[in-house]
Amino acid sequence: MSLLSAARAACRRRVGPNPSLCAALGATRAMSTNPETATDVHARPSFPMMRPEASVPPEEYAKLRKTCPVSKAKLFDGSDIWLITKHRDLVDALRDQRFSKVRTHPDFPELVEGAKAAVEGREPTFVDMDPPDWTRFRGMFERWFAGGYVEKLRPTIRGHVKELLDGMQRASKPVNLHEAFSLPVAFKTIYGILGIPFEDFEFLSNNIAMRSSGSSTARDAAAAQQELVDYMEKLVKEKERNPGNDMLSEIVKNDLRNGNISRDQLIAHAFLLVVAGNATVASMINLGVVELLANPDQLAAFKEDPEACAPGLALEICRFHSASALALRRVALEDVQLGGQTIRKNEGIIALNMSANRDEEVFRNADKFDIRRPEVGEQVAYGAGIHRCIAEYLALVELQEAFKGLFGRFPNIKLAVDESELEWSAPQADVGLKSLPVTW
């Protein structure tokens, strides 16, 4: 029995369902018998769709899963995109290499104006490649995110958690958990893996926060991004001069010097690894705290046996909220049949993992937050297929250690404001909190 299976078995106790969060859209969409025109009977909806409130998924997702799970919508520029809303169709699409991840493809779907121009001329990374390039480049980095390597890091991650909790304990209350704990947990781990000097942690964290903050101006965010790129270039050159035992040093010694990767390509990958996913891990910590406090039965179960329940909690919060919900986009390289529809060559798709993670055919009482859910391993918050997130195992370990440490140190932690006063991300953006004031 795996560690996760054993933990679930130790923790499992069924609880009753809550009423569904998903509301009806109104009149049922008329369906054509021709699969190619099924979504053209009425005007196509705009995408991205909006959450109706706080962290509740867009209401349209539940309706589409029932009436037209593979359907078309309109993007900001009037172009079409296929929405993949059911779990089985999402997994099929993401495993099908007739769908390409290459963002420089002229018909690759982008969600905002300017995204296409930003991609042009930029050094691609493995997340935007298809095989064989994907195979070669991802293979250089995978061992630092494999389960065995991450488990060796668990004591280090636990130490980061303790250090941050010590700082919270010394601080004046209330504390913004997002800044004091959630973000630094993720940052400190990846900095160590990459071999970033400790004295640069604060500079990098401030710049990454500026780059990703919704409250930053476009000019400030762009300036922060350029500073990060410049820093990564200096870091890679320093690793070339004085290599150590970290990831970047190893790749310099084994791949850069052998011509398997160029300096510019390594800089681009270093930038990717330092910025990608860390904000998502922070969101999952924040949202996990909010959900546990809102569900006393789940919190009580977790406190009773945190070691056993932490793996299920980490997976369930990722399923329940899917904080990176707009990234699974592809373009068809040839005609593909999916979910009863014909997706034509050069048409774009988005696999909606937030919707698939609420698919009632896979997850019983899907709108119930349940840390003892036996089928939680089917969650697709990290994607599926060859492009499944390289850092999934690392993220889950960070979440486990964060929740165990936080509720172990502060068992009476609570929100410092009413839940209705929490500031949520824009309703069409990935779900998240701008801040999380807590006290104890």
Whether residue 389 lies in the annotated active site:
yes
The answer to whether 430 is a known catalytic residue is yes
Terminal Cα distance for the chain, rounded: 38
Among residues 125, 249, 280, 283, which one is catalytic?
A: 280
Give the separation between CA 216 and CA 381, rounded to whole angstroms: 27
Element (H, E) at 8: helix 3-11
Residue type, 217: T
E strand residue ranges, 210-323: none
Q: Which of 100, 125, 205, 324 is catalytic?
A: 324
DSSP 438: E
Residue type, 335: D
The verdict on whether 85 is a catalytic residue reads no
Active site residue 104: no
What would the DSSP string read from start to end of 146-185? SHHHHHHHHHHHHHHHHHHHHHHHHSPSSEEHIIIIIHHH
Please identify which of the residues 11, 22, 68, 389 carries the catalytic annotation.
389
The DSSP secondary structure of 311-374, one letter per residue, reads: HHHHHHHHHHH-S--S--EEEESS-EEETTEEEPTT-EEEE-HHHHTT-TTTSTTTTS--TT-T
The three-point CA angle 277-287-26 to 5° equals 105
Instruction: Report the sign of the C-alpha dihedral through residues 402, 405, 408, 413, in that order.
Output: negative
Can you say how many angstroms the Cα of residue 50 is from the centroid of all Cα atoms in its chain?
18
Query: What one-letter code names the amino acid at 304?
Result: E
Rounded to whole angstroms, what are the CA distances from 179 to 2, 73, 182, 406? 34, 36, 6, 14
**Peptide linkage before 174 cis (omega within 30 of 0):** yes
The secondary structure of residue 424, as a DSSP letter, is B
The residues annotated as belonging to the active site are 280, 324, 389, 430
